Structure 1
Amino acid sequence: MKITDYELLIKLNEIGTIRGTAKVVLISQPAVTQRLKYIEEYFGVQIFLRTSKRLKLTPAGEIILEHAKEVIEREEYILNKLAKSSKEVHGTLSIACSSLISQRFLPKILGAYTNQFPKVAIDLVTGISEDIRLDHKNYDVCIIRGDKLKESTCIRLFADPLYIFDTEPFPEDGVKERPLISFKSDDSMHELVDNWLYYQQASIKPLKTMTVDQIETCKQFMKQGIGMAVLPKSVSDSMMEEYPHLPLMLDGKSVTRDTWVCYQEDSRQLPQVNHFIEALTATIFL
């Protein structure tokens, strides 16, 4: 059995389907099926029941999955221990990152990092900050938006001002009545927008709210004239010059969305983690 076999079992259990797992691990469905067959033959038991909806662990499968997690944790422990004792930086760096940051900034940062430390294995998970918070202890470094993590060391990377955009001008007098397009995010983002709109009732009144899955979809809908959209400066690019917009202000201050890098102090003792945090804090984001 290889480490990759144990990792495959964990992914199959997390995702629940062979097809979905094949997409994530970037190999064909037949290859995943064949690998699972080999693993079951190796242990001599059925690990998953194939139901119409998803794979379900058998009692024997639960025991094997627990063993798989222990094997992977032990492997990472040994690699990290070796990394501490070596002058050359290697080992595994596990990162959980906000989708916005992973799309907009992380590729360049990781590109430079992996060029400098090519022997470091990167384990990256992306998603909304709210989901990352629930599972943050499973990662060396978390990059999140909104409030910082409790019981963690957190460094603010940057404050991201929010703007409301539309294809139609914002009148100086009267009430602007337009649909509002929002994107899937965590509660803190929606609270910032809702709170600002509450104080703008005399000038801006959303007729209805349309929620889309991603921030890029939200931008494209706004550009097609479907409605207004509140977007952070970090993803606005040339939109400032092309579309009518207003900064979100309250009490004379910009409404901003903070981005944090959070970690446990023990993790920073690992060279690969420390170098990555240093790369993040040295980056000029806006």
Structure 2
Amino acid sequence: MRIDDYTLLLKLDEIGTIRGTAKAILISQPAVTQRLKYIEEYFGEKIFIRTPKRLMLTSSGEMIVNHAKSVIEHEVSIKNKLAQSSEEVQGTLSIACSSLISQRFLPAILAEYTRKFPKVAIDLVTGISEDIKRDHKNYHVCIIRGEKLKESTCIRLFDDPLFIFDTEEFPQTSIKERPIISFKSDDSMHELVDHWLYHHQDQIKPVKTIRVDQIETCKQFMKQGLGMAVLPKSVSDSLMDTYAHIPLTLDGVNVTRDTWICYQEGVRELSQVDQFIEALQTEKFL
């Protein structure tokens, strides 16, 4: 049995479907099915029962999955101890990062980091902040947007002001009635926008909402004149000279999305983690 096999079992148990697991770990459904078949043959026990809604653990499967958790925890523990015992910065650095930050800033940061510390293996997961928060204990470092993590050490990296863009001007003396385009994000982002719109009903009235999956799709829809879009400065500064826009403010204060780096107590004893956090803190984001 390989560590990857144990990781697969935990992911199958977490997600509950072959299809969803295959999508999450970026391999085909037949490949997942074949690996599960091998694992069940290895232990000589059926691990999951397939129901119409999700995979259900058998009694043997519960014992095997608990064993998988233990194996992975011991693997991570020994790697951390080996990294601590070495003067050279090495080991694995596990990061969960907001999709926006991973697209806009993280590539350059990691490129510089890996040039400086080539023996560090990067384990990276990206997604929306709500999903990262749910599984934050699985990672050394989480870079999230919105509210900071509870029961973690959190450092604010930067505040990201929000603007509303359109191909049409924002009138000074009449109500602007236009569709509004929103992208998939966590609830805190949508709450910020809804709260601002509520307090500006005399200026802006969305006539319908167009929902898209990614922020880049949202930008392209706005550029084609399909409606207004609320975008953070970090991904919209190139639009400001071309498209009509106004800042989101309440009582004269900019509405912003905070970006945080969060980690568990004691994790900075790992040199590869400490060096990465230092790199983030010295980065000029905006």
After TM superposition, the score normalised by the length of structure 1 is: 0.92
After TM superposition, give the deviation of residue 51 of structure 1 in Å.
4.0
State the Cα deviation string for residues 51-99 of structure 1 (Å, max 9, x = none): 4554332221111111101100100001001111101222222222111
| Between 78-87 and 100-109, the greater mean CA deviation after superposition | 100-109
SS at match of 2:61: helix
Residue 279 of structure 1: aligned partner: 279
Q: In structure 2, what is the Cα distance between the partners aligned to 1:189 and 1:18?
A: 31
Q: In structure 1, what is the Cα distance between the partners aligned to 2:225 and 2:25?
A: 38
After TM superposition, give the deviation of residue 44 of structure 1 in Å.
0.8
Structure 1: runs of 5 or more not aligned: none
Residue 86 of structure 1: aligned partner: 86
RMSD: 1.9
Residue 123 of structure 1: aligned partner: 123
The share of aligned pairs that are identical, in percent, is: 76
Q: In structure 1, what is the Cα distance between the partners aligned to 2:34 and 2:203?
A: 62
SS at match of 2:182: strand
Alignment of 1:226-265 (within 5 A): 226-265=226-265
| Partner amino acid, structure 2, of 1:285 | F
Q: In structure 1, what is the Cα distance between the partners aligned to 2:231 and 2:213?
A: 14
Residue 188 of structure 1: aligned partner: 188
Residue 58 of structure 2: aligned partner: 58
Q: In structure 1, what is the Cα distance between the partners aligned to 2:11 and 2:134?
A: 18
Q: In structure 2, what is the Cα distance between the partners aligned to 1:128 and 1:262?
A: 15
SS at match of 1:285: coil
Q: In structure 2, what is the Cα distance between the partners aligned to 1:31 and 1:251?
A: 55
| Partner amino acid, structure 1, of 2:139 | Y
Task: Sort the Cα spacing of 1:32 and 1:137 in 2 relative to 1 into closer, same or farther, 3 A.
Answer: closer
Alignment of 1:46-195 (within 5 A): 46-195=46-195
Residue 197 of structure 1: aligned partner: 197
| Partner amino acid, structure 2, of 1:104 | R
Q: In structure 1, what is the Cα distance between the partners aligned to 2:128 and 2:28?
A: 28
Q: In structure 2, what is the Cα distance between the partners aligned to 1:20 and 1:102?
A: 22
Task: Sort the Cα spacing of 1:24 and 1:193 in 2 relative to 1 into closer, same or farther, 3 A.
Answer: closer
| Between 14-23 and 153-162, the greater mean CA deviation after superposition | 14-23
| Between 222-231 and 129-138, the greater mean CA deviation after superposition | 129-138
State the Cα deviation string for residues 138-186 of structure 1 (Å, max 9, x = none): 3211111112222222111111111000111111221111111112222
Q: In structure 1, what is the Cα distance between the partners aligned to 2:160 and 2:96?
A: 19
Q: In structure 2, what is the Cα distance between the partners aligned to 1:195 and 1:23?
A: 35
After TM superposition, give the deviation of residue 240 of structure 1 in Å.
0.9
Q: In structure 2, what is the Cα distance between the partners aligned to 1:9 and 1:41?
A: 14
After TM superposition, give the deviation of residue 265 of structure 1 in Å.
2.7
SS at match of 2:241: helix
Q: In structure 1, what is the Cα distance between the partners aligned to 2:19 and 2:134?
A: 26
SS at match of 1:242: coil
Q: In structure 1, what is the Cα distance between the partners aligned to 2:27 and 2:134?
A: 29
Q: In structure 1, what is the Cα distance between the partners aligned to 2:106 and 2:239?
A: 22
After TM superposition, give the deviation of residue 2 of structure 1 in Å.
1.5
Q: In structure 2, what is the Cα distance between the partners aligned to 1:189 and 1:21?
A: 27
| Between 184-193 and 11-20, the greater mean CA deviation after superposition | 11-20
Structure 2: runs of 5 or more not aligned: none
| Partner amino acid, structure 2, of 1:225 | G
Task: Sort the Cα spacing of 1:109 and 1:245 in 2 relative to 1 into closer, same or farther, 3 A.
Answer: same
After TM superposition, give the deviation of residue 256 of structure 1 in Å.
1.1
Q: In structure 2, what is the Cα distance between the partners aligned to 1:186 and 1:31?
A: 32
Task: Sort the Cα spacing of 1:154 and 1:74 in 2 relative to 1 into closer, same or farther, 3 A.
Answer: same
SS at match of 1:4: helix
Q: In structure 2, what is the Cα distance between the partners aligned to 1:174 and 1:232?
A: 25
State the Cα deviation string for residues 87-137 of structure 1 (Å, max 9, x = none): 122222222211111121112212222232233232222222222223322
